[in-house]
Amino acid sequence: MSKNVLNLVIVTGMSGAGKTVAMQSFEDLGYFCIDNMPPNLLPKFWELVHESGTIDKVALVVDIRSRAFYDEIFSMLAEVNADEQEQNQKVEMKIMFLDASDEELVSRYKETRRSHPLAMEGRLLDGIQKERELLGEMKSRAQVVIDTTDLSPRQLREAIFDNFQKSAEVPTFHIEVMSFGFKYGLPIDADIVMDVRFLRNPFYVPELKVQTGKDKDVYDYVMDSPETEKFYQKLFDLMKFILPGYEKEGKTSLTVAIGCTGGQHRSVAIAERLGKDLKDKYYVDITHRDMEKSQKKVIEHGSK
């Protein structure tokens, strides 16, 4: 994405049509999201955007609670765009309108037992129809209109990704491969935990004891075993099978935790290999939660 282009998405539509899911989706696409900003704060917000020097994707989520926004937003954006052009920066704006049938909106409000913003003291259906009338012009100006009547939250998310993912620089599915030591407890954020304590342990080899699984000698010791190779191939096949499923279901991040006794040798070596192999297809971070802590204790114990 060009540094002199700011991508702005106005997310609006019928109350109950899915704006909360939309905002979460844009956050996962790397957009800076703001919910119901008063229009008179928009110029000040652009100043902060310029000062940051890092924000180039913004999603403003607007609903009928910000009635003034609909009266002022277009003139305000025109002024901002003129200022941006003077600073050699272009604003590319899209309006995304979320809609749903009256029947579906009534059903959703009944299910959540929430009050419609335009029907606080009247019939729910009257409020929905009044809102639809007020938002008619905004819908007519929208470049993207999504009817969520028959969409699940996951399907709405997919529709947003289909329309806006091309302009996003961040990956929408991220994998964290983490090594850890069982003696220090299970990682509470792990989605998948693999126990490799059955593999032969470099801890009992004097010259390897103080090293870690990132050191070549330890790595080779762990991997140079038919048992390890057989296990790893089964593990990698499992990852190749399940990861597309997690991604398809809309999961944005997955933590795969590999554990051994202290988190210094075996788990580190396996995590290193798995993370590097997965990087061919996915965005992957490799972390070692307990490696340095465990190594420090081994060194301190050996010096006594």
Q: What is the strand order of the sheet 144-147 is part of?
A: 32-35, 57-61, 5-13, 90-99, 144-147
Which band of pLDDT confidence, cut at 50, 70 and 90, is reported for residue 293? Answer: very high
**Domain ranges within the chain, ordered by starting residue:** 5-164, 174-302
Per-residue pLDDT for 63 more than 80? no
Instruction: Determine the pLDDT at residue 133.
Output: 87
Between 83 and 219, residue with greater pLDDT: 219
Between 102 and 80, residue with greater pLDDT: 102
Mean pLDDT of 170-174: 70
113 is in an annotated binding site: no
Residue 144's DSSP bridge partners are 96
Highest mean pLDDT among 4-18, 28-42, 149-163, 255-269: 255-269
For residues 21 and 108, is the Cβ–Cβ distance under 8 A? no
pLDDT digits (tens, 9 = 90+) for 244-268: 998 887 788 899 999 999 999 999 9
Residue 180's DSSP bridge partners are 259
Kindly state the tokens that stand for 64: 């009928």
15 is in an annotated binding site: yes
Taking CA atoms, 143 is separated from 61, 97, 151, 304, in Å, by 15, 8, 19, 71
142 is in an annotated binding site: no
The pTM of the full predicted model, rounded to 2 decimals, is 0.60
Return the H-helix or E-strand segment holding 146.
strand 144-147
pLDDT digits (tens, 9 = 90+) for 196-215: 999 999 999 999 999 999 99
For residues 54 and 29, is the Cβ–Cβ distance under 8 A? no
Per-residue pLDDT for 78 more than 70? no
Highest mean pLDDT among 25-39, 164-178, 199-213: 199-213
Instruction: Determine the pLDDT at residue 1.
Output: 42
How high is the mean pLDDT of the chain?
Answer: 85
What percentage of residues in the chain have a pLDDT greater than 90? 47
For residues 202 and 211, is the Cβ–Cβ distance under 8 A? yes
For residues 271 and 288, is the Cβ–Cβ distance under 8 A? yes
154 is in an annotated binding site: no
273 is in an annotated binding site: no
23 is in an annotated binding site: no
Which band of pLDDT confidence, cut at 50, 70 and 90, is reported for residue 21? Answer: very high
Per-residue pLDDT for 58 more than 50? yes
DSSP-assigned letter for residue 235: H
- Comparing 119-128, 205-214, 262-271, 286-295, which segment has the lowest mean pLDDT? 119-128
- Comparing 72-76, 207-211, 227-231, 295-299, which segment has the lowest mean pLDDT? 72-76
217 is in an annotated binding site: no
Question: Looking at 114-163, which runs of residues are DSSP E strands?
Answer: 144-147
Between 182 and 41, residue with greater pLDDT: 182
Taking CA atoms, 40 is separated from 6, 71, 82, in Å, by 19, 11, 16
Kindly state the tokens that stand for 24: 């979460």
168 is in an annotated binding site: no
Instruction: Determine the pLDDT at residue 118.
Output: 79
Instruction: Determine the pLDDT at residue 110.
Output: 85
- Comparing 12-26, 40-54, 220-234, which segment has the lowest mean pLDDT? 40-54
For residues 256 and 175, is the Cβ–Cβ distance under 8 A? yes
Mean pLDDT of 32-58: 78
For residues 39 and 67, is the Cβ–Cβ distance under 8 A? no
Mean pLDDT of 120-147: 85
266 is in an annotated binding site: no
Instruction: Determine the pLDDT at residue 104.
Output: 92
Instruction: Determine the pLDDT at residue 183.
Output: 95
Highest mean pLDDT among 64-68, 115-119, 276-280: 276-280
17 is in an annotated binding site: yes
Residue 69's DSSP bridge partners are none
Between 56 and 50, residue with greater pLDDT: 56
Q: Please give the CATH number for the structural domain made up of 5-164.
A: 3.40.50.300
117/101 Cα distance (integer angstroms): 17
What percentage of residues in the chain have a pLDDT greater than 70? 85
13 is in an annotated binding site: yes
53/6 Cα distance (integer angstroms): 11
Instruction: Determine the pLDDT at residue 2.
Output: 46
